[in-house]
Structure 1
Amino acid sequence: MEISKVEYVGYLLVLVLTLVFLFVRKRSGSGGSMKAVIPKAYPLIGSVLSIVANKHRRVLWISDILHASPSATFTLHRSLGSRQVFTANPSVVQHILKTHFPIYHKGFNLHRALGDFLGNGIFNADGDTWKFQRQLSSHEFNTRSLRKFVETVVDTELSQRLIPILSSASAVLDFQDILQRFTFDNICRIAFGFDPQYLLPSLPQTKFARAFEEGTKLSSERFNAAIPLYWKIKKLLNIGSEKRLRVAISEVRQLARRIIREKKQELREKSSLQSVDLLSRFLNSGHSDENFVMDIVISFILAGRDTTSAALTWFFWLLSNHPNVENRIWKEIEETSETTSSLYDEVKHMVYTHAALCESMRLYPPVPVDTKEAAQDDILPDGTFVKKGTRVAYHVYAMGRSEKIWGPDWAEFRPERWLEEEGEGKWRFVGKDSFTYPVFQAGPRVCLGKEMAFLQMKRIVAGVVRRFKVVPEGVEPVYIAHLTSLMKGGFPVTIQKRME
């Protein structure tokens, strides 16, 4: 990656000024609170001081600022005159995700930060490249055979791996790790037709899974860097985090390429592949370019692994603190299992559980912030001017905790806000406007895997809650986020079997 002399000198100046300001703040003792609502912007370095000071609570810090803003939109000043607009305003979200969709792309900055890992996959692509992948993927996701395959994979992983591990658990488990292992096995089988066997009783440290996790974390740090020059220089020198990222990406892509070549060889020998995983479907339909199918499948693994496990981790924590909700879910599971014969029918009738999952993701969205980049000058509905090349981020976490949107009881975990009573103890689910609740995005880029995600989550909830109580150990978890939300240090729990 080449860095111009002007950019190099500019960032070097930013670095020097940042160090000077940090030194002055430390000596004077007037650094102010890390939780100051409106970050102060200085010449040349912008609000880098506040960005660095709040880097470990970035999502919560920006959320606080948005809640204090009358329009729920504000502009963060970065170094060298660069700016980023954040919003928790539904009308602005609709503007960037639908009304003015052609203007707001993933953009250069995101592609530069995530491109080494995701390539030109669907979640990192724009324009005709994205449009083609979207059409192709949309067709595959809407097939009955893929849905049936997903049901089979989820049920097998649940009955043969997750339930036995929980049944035999005699010590404290990191439930976040367990759920990440479950969803990683699932999505690898759905996307690649490859079983990494990550959720085994020995809880193995498999090379592919760890490399994938490392690639995700370090790519996220690139994108959120206060001073991007740091990672660019490290990449040029192949040192530190950039060296680790290069190794992780190499390991992920080597395995992916091997799987693709094995399937292509099988396709040449048999003229068609019998498996129905996404990779096989793409190859069967004539899309044989290795880089193309690798990029798109790696993107789906990223989406399927991290988002679902993040949603479930926070869901089970909330459930443990709301026994009344847990009891209602348990009763619904018992009643549903007695009256339905298929997995699809079972999860379809879990209306209260569905509402509880939506409520959990309102408070703890798997992807807390999503960013676009303006391809031309624009004015947002609240009057904010957006210059071409500016990043505009809608803050899903802040929106889910907005009193303006959800009312004075926004802090309560209350699944009933998603339901209407139909009489005789029956409930009807009432969805929210996708621009008010953009957990699965909205507009042309709305999540293709939404139905698959709910199927998997409800099946896991049914399998676990029916048999066990998940009891947290220790203090309240600390919220952190890379590309997706996490509990810092994991989610330690003990597993208690329910009385038969």
Structure 2
Amino acid sequence: MASSPSLTYVIHRPFGGRSIVTANPANLEHILKTNFPIYQKGHYQNDILRELLGGGIFNVDGEKWKFQRQVASHEFNTKSLRKFVETVVDAELSDRMIPILSDAANSQTVIDLQDILQRFAFDNICNISFGYDPEYLTPSLPQSKFATAFDDAVRISARRYRTFFPIIWKIRRSLNIGPEKKLKEAVSEVSKFANSIVKQKKQEMMLNSKETSVSETEDLLSRFLKSGHSDEKFVTDIVISFLLAGRDTTSAALTWFFWLLHKNKQVEEEIVREINRNKGKQGKITEHSSVYEDVKEMVYIHAALCESMRLYPPVPADTKEAAKDDMLPDGTPVKKGMWVTYYPYAMGRMEALWGTDWAKFQPERWLEVEDHKWKFIPKDPYTYPVFQAGPRICLGKEMAFLQMKRVVAGILERFQVVPAMEEGFEPSYIPNLTAKMQGGLPVRIEERMMTE
């Protein structure tokens, strides 16, 4: 793409098929916003993820998508976000994560930070969205059939995208052999877990049947169940979609963030200074009365997270299918049924979009000084499509930032995170539906020596 003047090229596939790959911000605005009705998930992509996501919000178009987005939008108001940070995230951080990190520091043991962050995010999304605490982040770090099955299901589903001849995985699916057999088994385990959450919530609602209206204190799952949809499979699909979004995206983003901090000590030092400044204004950062305000004010941490996700976006690619013929702003013709794909991973590494210093981890590119303080300056979402854009822009964007900023502040206030890898080692970015670090992130935790 970088070698193309328009940052777009057409891939010619076997038997006359063609697809488009673009990194042109004008094209992205056209696809994600201006001509949004034309560029859909489409039938083929829906088929690829049908076993895992079914009719969930990330795998459907039209009325099903509109309904789920409308109901889910109530979960992301200011009151809900404050509750999320000050009760769910803060309790998980203070009562579970910090003690585990402290024990690792005292015993000088190596832990997999990616695994810890996934467990943390999993507990959070289950608590806030479903009113259910799986207690996955506990000192014993329990093994979970669900977690293993979920990883297998995501990995095998993503592999379908990369199969040169799709007929191969379709034949395997029909014969129930090879990876497709494993996918079926994994999805069965995931669905069983998600369905148990739905059944448990239904029982709770029956016990509290006196409350007939949707309350502001209700969780996301309660809202869907009260919206009139009695199809248990459909609601289970919704649960799985939100598990994917809540468990894998923030944990992936934070894993790469802590790796980049290790390589850029000056950024870590600036973050610690910001944490200490907030403590000076508000008192200890762990006071519940000010946690939400503290997190909102962490401008430098916000910029550092944006910069980390520019280089290592949690979702590496997004594909749309054209519902009819069209023309992209750069003059590329689009035929009905063609795939149009953009790669946030590639876009974040392009000199044409980010300048000659694109390879540098530099939070300051998101900031300017105003009245002797940092002020965050966002990039347009078509140059930085990490959270998508247009009507499908990520509903949980602010929730994700609040969670990640609280985790970063909570950890770096007390600890240094030191990757336990050989000098010169570079981890691999695995671009499945979400982008994890291959093999995890083994780290040592060290108590931070704070100066008064």
Match of 2:317 among 369, 372, 375: 369
- Provide the residue aligned with 1:191 in structure 2: 129
Is 1:492 aligned to 2:434, yes or no?
no
| TM-score, normalised relative to structure 2 | 0.92
- Once the two structures are aligned, what percentage of the paired residues are identical? 63
**Counterpart of 1:489 in structure 2: which amino acid?**
G
Q: Quote how far apart the aligned CAs of 1:277 are.
A: 2.5
Distance across 1 between alignment mates of 2:400 and 2:307:
15
- Provide the residue aligned with 1:248 in structure 2: 186
Cα deviation digits, residues 246-295 of structure 1 (max 9, x gap): 11111111222222122212222321398732112322444443223222
| SS of residue matched to 1:254 | helix
Cα deviation digits, residues 437-492 of structure 1 (max 9, x gap): 11110001000000100010000000111111111122121222101112121111
Cα deviation digits, residues 332-371 of structure 1 (max 9, x gap): 0111133234211011110011011011111111111111
Distance across 2 between alignment mates of 1:489 and 1:267:
41
Is 1:213 aligned to 2:151, yes or no?
yes
- Provide the residue aligned with 2:250 in structure 1: 308
Q: Quote how far apart the aligned CAs of 1:146 are.
A: 5.6
Is 1:437 aligned to 2:372, yes or no?
no
Q: How does 1:15-94 map to 2 (within 5 A)?
A: 66-94=1-29
Distance across 2 between alignment mates of 1:113 and 1:396:
21
Q: How does 1:275-286 map to 2 (within 5 A)?
A: 276-286=218-228
| SS of residue matched to 1:447 | coil
Distance across 2 between alignment mates of 1:429 and 1:388:
40
Match of 1:96 among 27, 31, 37: 31
- Provide the residue aligned with 2:349 in structure 1: 401
- Provide the residue aligned with 1:321 in structure 2: 263
- Provide the residue aligned with 1:52 in structure 2: none
| SS of residue matched to 1:413 | coil
- Provide the residue aligned with 1:332 in structure 2: 274
Q: Quote how far apart the aligned CAs of 1:143 are.
A: 5.8
Match of 1:118 among 49, 53, 59: 53
Q: Which moved more, 1:236-245 or 1:444-453?
A: 236-245
Distance 1:298 1:143, change over 3 A: farther
Q: Quote how far apart the aligned CAs of 1:149 are.
A: 3.7
**Counterpart of 1:450 in structure 2: which amino acid?**
K
**Counterpart of 1:357 in structure 2: which amino acid?**
L
Q: Quote how far apart the aligned CAs of 1:150 are.
A: 5.0
- Provide the residue aligned with 1:234 in structure 2: 172
Distance across 2 between alignment mates of 1:196 and 1:488:
25
**Counterpart of 1:188 in structure 2: which amino acid?**
C
Q: Which moved more, 1:143-152 or 1:396-405?
A: 143-152
| SS of residue matched to 1:123 | helix
Distance across 2 between alignment mates of 1:296 and 1:88:
30
- Provide the residue aligned with 1:19 in structure 2: none
Contact preservation (8 Å) 1:96, 1:104: yes
Q: Quote how far apart the aligned CAs of 1:75 are.
A: 1.4
| SS of residue matched to 2:203 | helix
Contact preservation (8 Å) 2:39, 2:321: yes
Contact preservation (8 Å) 2:10, 2:20: yes
- Provide the residue aligned with 2:418 in structure 1: 471
| SS of residue matched to 2:58 | coil
Contact preservation (8 Å) 2:56, 2:238: yes
Q: Quote how far apart the aligned CAs of 1:200 are.
A: 1.9
Contact preservation (8 Å) 2:249, 2:315: yes
Is 1:359 aligned to 2:307, yes or no?
yes
- Provide the residue aligned with 1:34 in structure 2: none
Q: Which has the higher contact order (CA 8 A, sep 6+)?
A: 2
- Provide the residue aligned with 2:95 in structure 1: 160
Cα deviation digits, residues 365-384 of structure 1 (max 9, x gap): 11111110000111111111
Is 1:176 aligned to 2:124, yes or no?
no
**Counterpart of 1:164 in structure 2: which amino acid?**
P
User: Over alpha carbons, which structure has the higher Rg?
Assistant: 1
**Counterpart of 1:126 in structure 2: which amino acid?**
D
Structure 2 unaligned blocks of 5 or more: 283-288
Match of 2:205 among 267, 273, 279: 267
Contact preservation (8 Å) 1:146, 1:276: no
Distance across 1 between alignment mates of 2:236 and 2:130:
9
Q: Which moved more, 1:286-295 or 1:127-136?
A: 286-295
**Counterpart of 1:67 in structure 2: which amino acid?**
A
- Provide the residue aligned with 2:401 in structure 1: 454
Distance across 2 between alignment mates of 1:294 and 1:376:
32
| SS of residue matched to 2:427 | coil
| SS of residue matched to 1:69 | coil
Distance across 2 between alignment mates of 1:457 and 1:401:
23
Q: Which moved more, 1:135-144 or 1:348-357?
A: 135-144
Contact preservation (8 Å) 1:363, 1:397: yes
**Counterpart of 1:88 in structure 2: which amino acid?**
A
Distance across 1 between alignment mates of 2:206 and 2:342:
46
Cα deviation digits, residues 11-56 of structure 1 (max 9, x gap): xxxxxxxxxxxxxxxxxxxxxxxxxxxxxxxxxxxxxxxxxxxxxx
Distance across 2 between alignment mates of 1:129 and 1:439:
24
| SS of residue matched to 1:111 | helix
Distance across 2 between alignment mates of 1:132 and 1:457:
28
Q: Which moved more, 1:381-390 or 1:78-87?
A: 78-87
Distance 1:283 1:307, change over 3 A: same
Is 1:428 aligned to 2:354, yes or no?
no
**Counterpart of 2:128 in structure 1: which amino acid?**
I
- Provide the residue aligned with 1:63 in structure 2: none
| SS of residue matched to 1:486 | strand
**Counterpart of 2:305 in structure 1: which amino acid?**
L
| SS of residue matched to 1:135 | helix
Distance across 1 between alignment mates of 2:223 and 2:63:
21
Distance across 2 between alignment mates of 1:462 and 1:471:
16
